Structure 1
Amino acid sequence: MAVVARGEAGEDASGRLDPKLLRLAFVLVLGPILAMLDTTIVNVGIEAVAGEFGSPLATVQWVSAGYLLAVSAVMPLSGWAAERFGAGRMWTVSVALFVLGSALCGMAWSAGSLIVFRVLQGVGGGMIQPLGQAMIARAAGPSRIGRVMGITVLPLTFAPVAGPVLGGVILQHLDWRWMFLVNVPVGLVTLLLAARVLPKDPPRDERGGRLDLVGFVLLSPGLAALVYGLSEAGDRGFGTVRVGGAVAAGAVLLAAYGAHAMRGKAAPLIDLRLFARRGFAVATANSFLQGAALYSSMLLLPLYYQRVEHASALEAGLLIAPQALGTALVSFLAGKIADRVGPRPLILTGIVMTMAGTVAFTQLGSDPAGWLLVASLVLRGAGLGVVMAPGMAAIYSSVAPHEAPRAAGAVNTLNRIGGSLGTAVLAVVLQGRIEAHAPGGAASAFGETFWWALGLSAVTLIPALFYPTKK
């Protein structure tokens, strides 16, 4: 794996974050930032792409869906790829594929070619975050994992906010192709920095076994079908044949994978035996539910400002920026505290803060004051910042260093599924409430849907109660 052994990054008796570790964390976080920015930027520009190619929106939606499905399909491979080829080598290849896909997307000549290039982009983007997290976790070691994760959370929280803002600027002043081409120079700089900073991988002959082909055939299509079905449910509802068939097929394939993984001789892509450990099971359950709560609310917030307050994509991005500011204010401090105490008090506190910051949005039908919504977003963001770093630290502290790559693949996959599920549920609820309040009741519809977002956050309290209280 392309990491230094635990403590080799220059950890001294005081456990300080030395420059070598900070440089490694800085470079590795650039990759996820690229992928997250790209996703949010492209979502803003779908209609512009449809107009350029004269394609129906149903076709152009695959520009986003194809990327999402590719990410879902390759993410479980990250653990095996890290063990077989080296995490540093595979992280570099993944970023390079993402940059190549971005360049090709910028040169697309039709909707079909753009969709194909987006799939290539997703193949690269799917492994970047789990591989990077695994390398950071192993380089930091248990005494510094909270602080390092607190640092890496900071830029990631701004990406969902900066994406719509940057997308709005690009669409207003440049051609839509720059939504993709903007990734190329940043990606090339990232690759140059990685060549200088990432430690060398151990020799290949020290690596593990062959790819579990049966597991791959079951797991990757199963995840893709499940994520596709959930994403379609947001537009079509859960009762349609397309959605029901995709979700059912995904569930059957994943159940078959579970049976195979428990009795198979080959090393599984996602090792289900990790979930037998209380610490890992609790942390991944919380990550799944946090994904559902976070991604679903990030659907509602910009939609409310655009549909009800009639803000542009640029203005909507700026209006939700206070949430990222709140996260930035507390995440490093929360990570520092997490290195000294158990995760339970921090995570419970963060969830309660997030819930408190959501309450004002349940009252949108009563037209709450603008300052109250801004303050609530700051509080929501602070709560997320308190939860994120200790939660990720708890995950990687619960596994041995050599298990970090497969653990990263598992937790990122579950977080992705949770996000898709939460987004689908809230999209269906929102659509139903809009129809019930039509015409002129959009604000009330959003307010009632935010009660569901509040409920999703409340559910995350359940696994959080099972975290340890002491480090």
Structure 2
Amino acid sequence: MLVPLHSQLARGGGALDAGLLLAPMGIRAAITMPLAGRLTDSRGPRGVGAAGVLLAVAAIAAYVLLGEGPARLSEAASGAAPGAAPGAVSEAASGAASGAASVPLFGVMFVLGLGHGLVATSVGAAAYRTLERAALPAATTLSTIAVRLAAPFGVAVPAVLLQAFTAAGVARPFTYAFWAVLGPAAVSLAPIALIGSKTWRRSSSAPV
């Protein structure tokens, strides 16, 4: 949610720019899903899931750092040409901001998609592996409900934070909103580290 908003409001891009920026995350599905499955079977879900979280965290941090350049350029261009027409200045700023970091950001979004794919596949496989066959239907239903409830929450929290930072007059509200997202992402390493541990095996309903 933050990425398309940042692309349009902070970097001066249009709806097409925002959509193209999200495209690499879809491409990763064709690459990550079969790869993550093989890695989970051969290496175990804990390492694959942890690697996915680290990739995602690194990608979010890189997006913030790379995205700051176009945002500053857009701000500077908006007030840098006193004699220029406002529309021309805005258009030039938008074009410069949109093109300055598009290629690197595509790479960052691709890495973010890879990390997400590694986490989703490995953690999902690890969870279902601990269940008896008779428990799979109920677990699938519960998992679907949890995802449907958590997804809106994951969108609402960054949106509320962004609005709060903006209302508080923070100079770069998107930067703070992105950094706030990094915290829960990093914390998710803790439950992933428990995969395969004694605590994890005790919670399993599958025969040992």
What's the TM-score, normalizing by structure 2?
0.72
Structure 2 CA distance for aligned equivalents of residues 362 and 436 of structure 1: 20
Asked if the contact 2:36–2:122 (Cα under 8 Å) also holds between the matched residues in 1, the reply is yes
In the TM superposition, 1:264-283 aligns within 5 A as none
How many residue pairs align between the two structures? 167
What SS does the aligned partner of 2:42 have? coil
In the TM superposition, 1:296-375 aligns within 5 A as 299-363=1-65, 364-367=67-70, 369-375=101-107
Partner of 2:78: none
Asked if the contact 2:49–2:119 (Cα under 8 Å) also holds between the matched residues in 1, the reply is yes
Structure 1 CA distance for aligned equivalents of residues 175 and 63 of structure 2: 6
Asked if the contact 1:357–1:376 (Cα under 8 Å) also holds between the matched residues in 2, the reply is yes
Instruction: Report how far residue 396 of structure 1 moved.
Output: 1.7
Asked if the contact 2:123–2:192 (Cα under 8 Å) also holds between the matched residues in 1, the reply is no
Are 1:395 and 2:98 matched, yes or no?
Answer: no
Are 1:424 and 2:156 matched, yes or no?
Answer: yes
C-alpha root-mean-square deviation of aligned residues, in Å? Answer: 2.1
In the TM superposition, 1:57-96 aligns within 5 A as none
Partner of 2:75: none
In the TM superposition, 1:24-423 aligns within 5 A as 299-363=1-65, 364-367=67-70, 369-423=101-155
Structure 1 CA distance for aligned equivalents of residues 128 and 20 of structure 2: 34
* Structure 1 portions without partners, runs of 5+: 1-298
Higher relative contact order (CA 8 A, sep 6+): 2
Structure 1 CA distance for aligned equivalents of residues 190 and 163 of structure 2: 28
Instruction: Report how far residue 366 of structure 1 moved.
Output: 4.2
Runs (4 or more) in structure 1 with deviation over 4 Å come to none
Asked if the contact 1:426–1:453 (Cα under 8 Å) also holds between the matched residues in 2, the reply is yes
Structure 2 CA distance for aligned equivalents of residues 458 and 412 of structure 1: 23
Instruction: Report how far residue 370 of structure 1 moved.
Output: 3.1
What's the TM-score, normalizing by structure 1?
0.33
Partner of 2:180: 452
Asked if the contact 1:326–1:381 (Cα under 8 Å) also holds between the matched residues in 2, the reply is yes
Asked if the contact 2:52–2:117 (Cα under 8 Å) also holds between the matched residues in 1, the reply is yes
Q: Percent identity?
A: 31
What SS does the aligned partner of 1:367 have? helix
Structure 1 CA distance for aligned equivalents of residues 30 and 54 of structure 2: 18
Structure 2 CA distance for aligned equivalents of residues 367 and 461 of structure 1: 32
Partner of 2:196: 468
Instruction: Report how far residue 389 of structure 1 moved.
Output: 1.3
Asked if the contact 2:11–2:70 (Cα under 8 Å) also holds between the matched residues in 1, the reply is no
Structure 2 CA distance for aligned equivalents of residues 350 and 391 of structure 1: 10
Instruction: Report how far residue 349 of structure 1 moved.
Output: 0.6
